[in-house]
């Protein structure tokens, strides 16, 4: 496979999941504002490392400003309109490696988002836009799973998807957990049910938490669920497990292994054998920051090994 093809598929996966993750986070933030009357727009911008850019454009920093900045603001590379556009452009370059179902679903999403982007902002229903992106990206993921050939093209698409998902889950947990537990000690955390539910809602795991733990929401269990449980599709462990599996598939296909394979295996093992009490003993924030840095290094190494980037 050409490195340009692998690169397009890898970044298509990353940008699609970035759009989906952003829609989920914004939707949960909007719901939290309706339930409790509070929402820290700056904290949400922190998840994407965009607080300075956000406040530079919107000094008041309201929730409405955040929604505008993260949805249809073309000056923000992480806005929905930009991430969907980039995913669609990557997909258009690789239509021969995608099925009609995947391409038409993604192209249809772009056409709808682009149409909303041409409307006056005052009449755009941000809630409807978030629901559109969330539903259509789920449809695209379903089409990918049910129609794509399991070859190296599929592996590169999955690598991008799961790395982006792991990074997003770690970022959401880091920012939102430490907003409720400033000193990182779960014994000193806020007990507000709605705020903890918002964290779980960002990865669609509110009902899953109840099913597994059968108890009120507890900080240590939220961390255990979002980081260490392999059976939760959006947990860090599950995502890095899938990254490792797809790297192994590529190694079998090409008959060679490199530094990216070693890093993928080491990172998966690091999370696989972790224990929640050890995370808190060493500090959750340093653990998550180290995890984020290792995900970035792995992405860079995948670029050097396969994408010539």
Residues of the chain with pLDDT under 70: 35-39, 309
pLDDT tens track for 229-280: 999 999 999 999 999 999 999 999 999 999 999 999 999 999 999 999 999 9
Domain final residue pick, 148, 178, 199: 148
Q: Which of 148, 165, 194 is the last residue of a domain?
A: 148
Do residue 122 and residue 157 come from a single domain? no
The model's pTM is 0.92
DSSP assignments along 81-149, one per residue = HHHHHHHHHHHHHTGGGS-HHHHHHHHHHHHHHHHHHTS-GGG--HHHHHHHHHHHHHHHHHHHHHHS-
**Could you give the CA distance from residue 42 to residue 63 in angstroms, rounded to a whole number?**
9
The C-alpha atoms of residue 144 and residue 155 are separated, in whole angstroms, by 11
Distance CA 175, CA 168 (A): 11
CA distance 103 to 96: 10
Write b or e for each residue in 144-162: b if 16 or more Cβ atoms lie within 10 A of its Cβ, otherwise e.
beeebeeebbbbbbbbbbb
Domain count, the chain: 2
pLDDT score, position 43: 82
Domain that holds residue 39: 1-148
Residue 238 CA to residue 233 CA, distance in Å, equals 6
pLDDT tens by residue, 149-170: 999 999 999 999 999 999 999 9
* Torsion from C-alpha of 37, 42, 47, 49, nearest 10 degrees: 170
The pLDDT value recorded for residue 212 is: 94
Assess whether 94 and 185 both reside in one domain: no
Q: Do 156 and 291 have their domain in common?
A: yes
């Amino acid at each position: 496979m050409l490195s340009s093809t692998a690169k397009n598929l890898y970044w298509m996966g990353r940008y699609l999941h970035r759009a989906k993750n952003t829609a989920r986070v914004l939707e949960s933030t909007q719901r939290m504002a309706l339930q409790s009357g509070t929402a820290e727009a700056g904290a949400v911008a922190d998840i994407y490392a965009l607080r300075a850019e956000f406040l530079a454009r919107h000094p008041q920093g309201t929730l409405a400003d955040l929604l505008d900045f993260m949805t249809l603001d073309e000056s923000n590379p992480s806005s929905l309109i930009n991430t969907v556009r980039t995913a669609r452009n990557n997909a258009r370059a690789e239509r021969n490696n995608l099925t009609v179902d995947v391409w038409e679903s993604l192209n249809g999403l772009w056409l709808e988002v682009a149409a909303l982007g041409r409307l006056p902002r005052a009449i755009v229903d941000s809630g409807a836009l978030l629901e559109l992106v969330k539903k259509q990206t789920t449809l695209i993921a379903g089409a990918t799973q049910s129609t794509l050939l399991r070859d190296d093209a599929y592996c590169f698409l999955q690598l991008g998807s799961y790395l982006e998902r792991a990074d997003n889950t770690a970022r959401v947990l880091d920012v939102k957990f430490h907003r409720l537990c400033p000193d990182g000690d779960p014994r000193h955390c806020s007990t507000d049910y709605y705020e903890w539910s918002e964290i779980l809602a960002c990865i669609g795991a509110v009902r899953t938490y109840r099913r597994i733990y059968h108890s009120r929401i507890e900080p240590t269990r939220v961390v255990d669920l979002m980081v260490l449980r392999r059976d939760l599709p959006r947990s860090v462990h599950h995502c890095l497990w899938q990254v490792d599996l797809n790297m192994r598939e590529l190694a079998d296909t090409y008959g060679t292994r490199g530094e990216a394979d070693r890093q993928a295996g080491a990172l998966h093992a690091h999370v696989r054998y972790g224990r929640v009490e050890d995370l808190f003993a060493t500090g959750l924030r340093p653990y998550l920051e180290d995890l984020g840095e290792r995900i970035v290094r792995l992405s860079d190494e995948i670029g050097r090994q396969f994408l010539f980037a």
